[in-house]
Chain A
């Protein structure tokens, strides 16, 4: 496929995500307006920070009058998972020029990661795959920024929109990404462990529990995968493990 075809395919594959991102962007814009940010401040947060859940939490912190240190530390911890995304996709940016790596890093979000990672799993690494990545990520970015703007404007007109529960769109998106991944025991166990630890550590400050939960899930997945591997090596069989 040519660059253009890959780019358009990326745009097309991002459409389902837009259904989830648009309501989430609208609710962010609404809350930012309620929290005392100007239109320009709310939109520039989406333009430059471009991290949905962190923006969401920070707006509520700003509304509560949290200090700058708390806000920046929260941003750091809530976004730490991007280091994991960066590590996961790192083999795919090998050989790409610096300007591509800078751009794709700036646009690396949960949703972009999910779509692009699935593409690489299905299609492997092809020389022009970064054009697909660019298509996905530019569509999601445009949607996030414009829906934030819509949210700020609507929020002024419809004051109680903040209580509609539009943030459920993010949960629906993530469920739609995760469930198809649960194809084998280690993945299911990783999800159960991460979910359980997230519930147990929910009271920790600054969303520290999120990282504790992520690492617990990863550890359980790896341990189970290794145990399964050593079992199959001990007892050779024709059974195919997916």
Chain B
């Protein structure tokens, strides 16, 4: 299969999932589902972030002080908790990350 067809297939799959419940705007969910939806951002994004910090290559645990993903991730959490400011968190976190990579000789 060529890359063009693959991209088309990925487009269709992704769009259908995004549109899935917009197709029935009048559908009401039972209370337990509506309650559960409050936890969607927290659960999904944490499930992406935590392995990204502890297993940066997706396979191997890196519980060390040479793991810039882990250290800068912790710095991000601290900045976010104290400032509650998204720009400060992203900008500050990236600055800490690249400083660490430079100090650790990883760039």
Q: How far is the CA of A154 from the CA of B4 in the complex (A)?
A: 23
Q: Give chain B's interface secondary structure class.
A: helix
| Interchain CB contact under 8 A, A84 and B42 | no
Chain A's interface size range is: 35 or more
Q: For A181, what are the chain B residues with a Cβ–Cβ distance below 8 Å? A: 41-42
A residues contacting B by CB (< 8 A) are: 15-17, 19-20, 23, 37, 41, 44-45, 48-51, 53-54, 58, 62, 68, 71-72, 75-76, 79-90, 93-96, 101-102, 104-106, 108, 110, 113-114, 117, 164-165, 168-182, 186-187, 190-191, 193-199, 202-203, 209-210, 213-219, 221-222, 225-226
| Interchain CB contact under 8 A, B11 and A49 | yes
| Interchain CB contact under 8 A, B39 and A217 | yes
Task: Tell me whether A94 and B33 are in contact in the complex, defined as CB-CB below 8 angstroms, given that A79-B14, A83-B17 are known contacts.
Answer: no
Task: Tell me whether A176 and B46 are in contact in the complex, defined as CB-CB below 8 angstroms, given that A71-B10, A225-B35 are known contacts.
Answer: no
Task: Tell me whether A171 and B19 are in contact in the complex, defined as CB-CB below 8 angstroms, given that A44-B7, A72-B13, A221-B36 are known contacts.
Answer: no
Can you identify 22 A-B contacts, CB atoms within 8 angstroms? A16-B86, A20-B94, A37-B3, A41-B3, A44-B7, A48-B10, A49-B10, A83-B21, A87-B40, A105-B18, A168-B72, A172-B73, A172-B97, A174-B45, A174-B46, A178-B42, A191-B42, A194-B42, A197-B47, A203-B59, A214-B40, A221-B39
| Interchain CB contact under 8 A, B10 and A213 | no
Q: How far is the CA of A182 from the CA of B53 in the complex (A)?
A: 19
A196-B50, A213-B46 known, 20 other contacts, Cβ within 8 Å: A20-B90, A37-B3, A53-B48, A82-B17, A86-B21, A90-B22, A105-B18, A171-B69, A172-B76, A172-B90, A173-B90, A174-B45, A176-B80, A176-B93, A190-B42, A195-B50, A197-B47, A210-B48, A213-B43, A215-B43
Q: Give chain A's interface secondary structure class.
A: helix
Q: How far is the CA of A95 from the CA of B13 in the complex (A)?
A: 25
| Interchain CB contact under 8 A, B49 and A222 | no
B25 lies within 8 A of chain A by Cβ: yes
B64 lies within 8 A of chain A by Cβ: no
The listed residue (B36, B59, B87) touching A16 by CB distance below 8 A is: B87
Q: For A216, what are the chain B residues with a Cβ–Cβ distance below 8 Å? A: 43
| Interchain CB contact under 8 A, A15 and B50 | no
| Interchain CB contact under 8 A, B40 and A41 | no
Task: Tell me whether A202 and B55 are in contact in the complex, defined as CB-CB below 8 angstroms, given that A104-B22, A194-B47 are known contacts.
Answer: yes
Q: How far is the CA of A95 from the CA of B33 in the complex (A)?
A: 21
| Interchain CB contact under 8 A, A198 and B37 | no
Q: For B38, what are the chain A residues with a Cβ–Cβ distance below 8 Å? A: 221
Whole-angstrom distance from the CB of A145 to the nearest CB of chain B? 14
B residues contacting A by CB (< 8 A) are: 1, 3-11, 13-15, 17-27, 29, 32-33, 35-55, 58-59, 68-69, 72-73, 76-77, 80-81, 84-87, 89-91, 93-94, 97-98, 101, 106-107
Q: How far is the CA of A86 from the CA of B9 in the complex (A)?
A: 20
Q: For A222, what are the chain B residues with a Cβ–Cβ distance below 8 Å? A: 32, 35-36, 39
